[in-house]
Amino acid sequence: MLKKQKNMNWVMTLLKGRTFLILAVLVVFFSFASPNFFTINTGLTVAKHVALYGIMGIGMTFVIITGGIDLSVGAVAGFAGMIAGGLINEGLKIGFLGITIYFSVPWVILISALCGVLIGWLNGIIITKFRVAPFIATLGTMNVARGLANLRSNGATFSNIVGKKPLGNTGFDILGQSFLGIPAGVIILIIIAIIAAILLKSTSFGWHIFAIGGNEKAAKLSGVKVAKDTTIVYMFSGLCSAIVGMIAAAQLVASHPATGEGWEMNAISAAVLGGTSMAGGIGSVGGTIIGAFIIGVINDGMTMCGVSEFWQKVIKGIVVIAAVVVDQFQRNLQAKIALQARNAQ
Amino acid sequence: MKRKVLSILLCAAMVVTMAVGCGKKDTSSSEKKETKTETKTKDEVLPGGGSKIIYVITPSTSNTFFETEAKICTAEAKKLGYTVKAMSHDDDATKQMQQFESAIDDKAAAIICDNAGADATIEAVKAARKAGIPTFLIDREINEEGVAISQIVANNYQGAKGVAEVFVKAMGEKGNYVELLGKESDTNAGVRSSAFHEVIDQYKNMKMVAQQAANWEQTEAYDKMGTILQSHPNIDGVICGNDTMLCGAVAALEDAGLAGIPVIGVDGSDDARDLILQGKATATALQQAAEISRMAVKQADDYLKNGKTGLDEKQLVDCIVITKDNASKLKAFDLSK
């Protein structure tokens, strides 16, 4: 009996570290498959790409922990990018005064980020006050944000968003550059990850959102302000997406209204691969970042191996499903172990 | 409420510290650096990344046009001894940028790309140039010269004029016709339409009774054509901005019992070819995707071997007018000799 339990514990550790294992296996595999994969340069490139999914994934992790989902993230990224690009290239036109205000870059970033937060707030209000299911609410705001992104320029691209010296709004493109070889996106990812991890693990707010995801009614009865906390979570997700949109725009030195189409899938996949439970109540920032790395390594690895895009989609889909299946398996096993431990006593 | 405001401020503060933290580096110096490297590389011969790999990046190959590009580029480059990695950017400029970066890490010799946006692609091509990798653009241009080595695109204007002439002849230089336009935000829609009218408007007895945008789409063209036929049941011909809309228009004409009247398009798709052979459409202008791809591979090879292509950066490839006479030779955007 005891021996069997020990075996099970061993399986459990293996299961718990599985995301890391998958990542390691993938890296080893692609290193053999493509000779230029296991280099510092490729590592930095992968990290740069991962930053986009990772930041978005962190916001998504918070949302999924509350038991919700945010489909608007990709569209919000596109929208924020368009706001930033528009403010730099065209400024803010105030019609009735006949003047155009150009903001300096920190203000541009702040305003664009607030636009993302605003859509997040809208998500939160629709979900908590009007009791619309998160899937539907964010599906709606996804279309709204995408439409607004296109409306900002009538479908056109804001090109060369570097600003002009005389207007004092140069420097936006630094978000897409590297410092001492480290891409700005990666630095931002690290900062956000640290803040998010602290929020989630060491603050009452963090405990509250776990409680909401675990059992909303119980959380409410024990004094958690469910509506308020849920809304903040969606605002945080909107903020993360807006930041991603700005980084993406800075990398291209252009804002394109279609930026971020389909990225919600990458964000959800990163969270789920990282062990976040779609049922809510379970998830971690570290897990999501590893999940994002898995997606990044698969993307870039398959690109460098010349795998066709159709196969890439199939493989990515299978990896995500496999992750969830193993997740279920782990949970069942955990319950079994707990039961055995109780019986042994 | 107070707390809500507080939380917003907190988020804002986070962003600002981030912006400031990243913004510390003197922007003017980084700008200077950039212009310097640009002038330095302008006339420099790009040696390639060091490997014999050519990256072929196109829009989704679920469209035959791009499938042809990817296939021909792959086959031609392999013939010349290169390893080819073909992929699709799905019209996502960020994904395209990531693929360019992977190509750079992979030490690609050259990149052949049908790009994801005239403005949003410039930075990716610049990054490749900085890494010494030459880029050859096909089918779509970018809004900057001197970054890519070649920009080889189909001559939409000449092609549209060519089919318009066939259209006028088929109409007997007179009659009422309808025009279906492409997406208004796409410059090609305007170019093709003005080329059509430059030819057709010379004939006084040719009269346009309706003009509608069907956004390049087959279903939309079918619906719009159906509506137009309600108010103008006696039209004598239709001109379409592309072949996809041509297919939609022909289907609507068939419903109305008007199959066989002159209909023209632009692209040279296999669907349009079949309709021409069946006598349901008159002509289309073939954009030579296969030929353009062959040219790109050849120029990439020349450039890597000799340091120059010997040609201008911007190259227009004439379209070929496809009618009943040569339609049977057309397959997958390639006209067999």
ipTM (interface predicted TM): 0.87
Helix (H) or strand (E) holding B152: strand B150-155
CA distance from start to end of chain A: 12
Q: Please check whether residue B319 is in contact with residue B162, taking contact to mean a CB–CB distance below 8 angstroms.
A: yes
pLDDT category at B19 given cuts 50, 70, 90 is very low
Q: Which residue segment(s) compose the domain that A181 sits in? A: 23-307
Could you write out the DSSP letters of every residue in A297-344? HHHHHHHHHT--HHHHHHHHHHHHHHHHHHHHHHHHHHHHHHHHHHHH
Angle at A13 between CA A8 and CA A15, to 5 degrees: 90
Helix (H) or strand (E) holding B88: strand B83-88
Q: Is B5's Cβ below 8 Å from some Cβ in A?
A: no
Could you count the other beta carbons within 10 Å of the beta carbon of residue B60? Answer: 14
Looking at residue B62, its pLDDT comes to 84
Does the structure show a pLDDT above 90 at A14? no
Looking at residue B37, its pLDDT comes to 44
Residue A162 included in any domain: yes
What percentage of residues in chain A have a pLDDT greater than 70? 98
Which residues 6+ apart lie within 8 Å of A328 measured at CB? none
The dotted CATH code for B53-148+289-316 is 3.40.50.2300
Could you count the other beta carbons within 10 Å of the beta carbon of residue A98? Answer: 7
Does the structure show a pLDDT above 60 at A313? yes
Superfamily of domain B157-286: Response regulator (3.40.50.2300)
Cα dist from A199 to A118, B18, B303, whole Å: 21, 17, 55
Whole-model pTM? 0.85
Mean pLDDT estimate for chain A:
91
Q: Is B18's Cβ below 8 Å from some Cβ in A?
A: yes
Does the structure show a pLDDT above 90 at A129? yes
CA distance from start to end of chain B: 75
Residue A198 included in any domain: yes
Q: Is A109's Cβ below 8 Å from some Cβ in B?
A: yes
Q: Is B208's Cβ below 8 Å from some Cβ in A?
A: no
Looking at residue B3, its pLDDT comes to 57
Query: From CA A20, how far away is CA B167, in angstroms rounded?
Result: 64
Residue A116 included in any domain: yes
Q: Please check whether residue B57 is in contact with residue B113, taking contact to mean a CB–CB distance below 8 angstroms.
A: yes
Question: Same fold for the domain at B53-148+289-316 and the one at B157-286?
Answer: yes
Q: Is A143's Cβ below 8 Å from some Cβ in B?
A: no
Looking at residue A211, its pLDDT comes to 95
Could you count the other beta carbons within 10 Å of the beta carbon of residue B244? Answer: 24
Higher-pLDDT residue of A324 and A104 is: A104
Does the structure show a pLDDT above 60 at B281? yes
Domain residue spans of chain B = 53-148+289-316, 157-286
Residue A109 included in any domain: yes
CA–CA min distance A52, chain B (Å):
10
Q: Is B187's Cβ below 8 Å from some Cβ in A?
A: no
Looking at residue B5, its pLDDT comes to 54
Residue A197 included in any domain: yes
CATH number at residue A260: 1.10.3470
Query: From CA A59, how far away is CA B271, in angstroms rounded?
Result: 46
Looking at residue B185, its pLDDT comes to 73
CA–CA min distance B320, chain A (Å):
30
Q: In this complex, do B122 and A243 lie within 8 Å of one another by their Cβ atoms? A: no
Query: From CA A222, how far away is CA A206, in angstroms rounded?
Result: 15
How many structural domains is chain A composed of?
1
Looking at residue A146, its pLDDT comes to 95
Which residues 6+ apart lie within 8 Å of B159 measured at CB? B192, B195, B266, B285, B286, B287, B318, B319, B320, B321
Q: In this complex, do B88 and A309 lie within 8 Å of one another by their Cβ atoms? A: yes
Q: In this complex, do B15 and A109 lie within 8 Å of one another by their Cβ atoms? A: yes
Looking at residue B56, its pLDDT comes to 96
Closest-approach residue (CA) in chain A for B99 = A303
